[in-house]
Amino acid sequence: MGVPVRYGMNPHQSATVEGGPAVIGGAPSLINYLDALNAFALVREADTAGGLPAAASFKHVSPAGAALAGAVDDVAAETWRTAGAAADSLISAYVRARDADPKSSFGDVVALSRPVDAETAEFLRTVICDAVIAPGYEEGAVEILRAKKSGSFLIFEAGADWQPPARERREVLGAVLEQDRDAAELAAALPEGALDAPHRRDALLGMAAARYTQSNSVVLVKDGAAIGIGAGQQNRVDCVRLAGAKARVWWLRRHPFVRDLPTVDGMRRQDRLNWQIRFAGAEMTGAQRVEFEELFGTAASGRYDEHGWREEWAERLDDVTLVSDGFLPFRDNVDHAAEYGVGTIVEPGGSTRSDEVAAAAAEHGIALVTTGLRLFHH
């Protein structure tokens, strides 16, 4: 018999859940469960493959970002006020995951592959997130988190030994569907020796992220962090372009023009981030342009329209690994990937035009690795 939850996909739908992670704080909805389960599966696989703490920022059953622990660059450290975070720490993994697409990560479900320490719990208390799932919590961490959102913050504990069953079953509009859980070993699918250690790590992180992203999906990874994820598109090239656009904005946020926007008294961190993203991506409406100049001044407003700096900076983004959950059907995927600094492509292969895809990769100097493993997820 299932346990009632707060609501189903929408507030007007009742729902129950049977099994799954323990709820030790808050009252989840069905979507909270779906996000938490998928996100935890992702970080556990990423941790196993990469040998480092892993984190994911999940929204609407797809990751906005995923990362392994690593060095937090100056922009992320300044944005999230985490200067001094150790490169092998759990908090570094989440900061890197959240920083990939902070507009999408607003109100996310946080997944962590290692027990939550007090430092990470304190950080989560300062950002807008709805839930956390982890294999456990160190002393004091739960108490810190329970104080968030007036006690309504969702806290899931998956347990270190949590293991989903070998078969999955669901009912959709009266049809009962059952299949083997996708448990194919990612490392075994990636040809040995095809990539050096850093690029193999990035490829495996991208494959883990793709496995738990709504298909079609493309993941762009750099230095152990996904910097752009294109999810749920009906054609592959739109996945590439969406992931690339997100990665480009992430990179443009590192430009001095964006970093040096004047500080506005009383402006919240998320509001400043949203303005930086609009400024970096040149995506303001007319009304926003007027407000931007009022907030940040005429010098910043002039830079918004200044020609060439975005393109010049974007050309410096390189050594990005692209992972696709399905084969690339046409060379246009590769042509667009090259515009976003992609140097390695990892895809299943097997398209009727794979020769054209391989030729395009060779033209752009991109290493192409085929795995034979499709990673669709719905």
Sequence spans of domains, the chain: 3-9+19-164, 186-250+315-370, 254-313
pLDDT for res 146: 94
Residue 116 pLDDT > 80: yes
pLDDT for res 150: 87
What percent of the chain is modeled with pLDDT above 70? 100
Residue 233 pLDDT > 70: yes
Which residues lie across from 174 on neighbouring strands?
A: none
Q: What is the mean pLDDT of the chain?
A: 95
Query: What's the average model confidence in pLDDT over 123-140?
Result: 96
Band of pLDDT at residue 4, cut at 50, 70 and 90: confident
Taking residue 362's Cβ as centre, other Cβ atoms within 10 Å add up to: 12
pLDDT for res 257: 97
Q: Phi first, then psi: what are they for 260, rounded to 5°?
A: -95, 15
Catalytic residue positions, numbered: 59-60, 216, 378
For residue 155, which of 169, 177, 135, 179 has the smallest C-alpha distance? 135
Residue 57 pLDDT > 90: yes
- CATH level 2 (architecture), domain 3-9+19-164: 3-Layer(aba) Sandwich (3.40)
pLDDT for res 3: 82
Residue 2 pLDDT > 80: no
pLDDT for res 163: 85
pLDDT for res 86: 94
pLDDT for res 159: 84
Which alpha helices (H) appear in the chain, and where do they start and end? 30-50, 74-80, 90-100, 102-105, 118-126, 141-146, 186-189, 197-211, 236-252, 256-259, 269-281, 286-296, 298-305, 309-314, 332-339, 354-364
Q: Maximum Cα–Cα distance for the chain, whole Å?
A: 63
Least confident of 13-27, 126-140, 204-218: 13-27
Residue 123 pLDDT > 70: yes
Taking residue 301's Cβ as centre, other Cβ atoms within 10 Å add up to: 17
Token couple for 162? 């949590």
Residue 19 pLDDT > 90: no
For the segment 155-177, what is each residue's pLDDT rounded down to a tens digit?
Answer: 999 987 888 889 999 889 999 99
pLDDT for res 1: 64
CATH code linked to domain 186-250+315-370: 3.40.140.20
Q: Phi-psi bin for 151: left (phi > 0), alpha (psi -120 to 50), beta?
A: left
Query: What's the average model confidence in pLDDT over 67-85?
Result: 95
The length of the chain in residues reads 378
In Å, how far from its chain's centre is CA 138?
25
pLDDT for res 89: 96
Residues with Cβ within 8 Å of residue 346, at least 6 apart in sequence = 190, 203, 206, 207, 321, 322, 323, 324, 369, 370, 371
pTM beyond 0.85: the answer is yes
Least confident of 1-15, 101-115, 171-185, 227-241: 1-15
Shared fold status for 3-9+19-164 and 186-250+315-370: yes
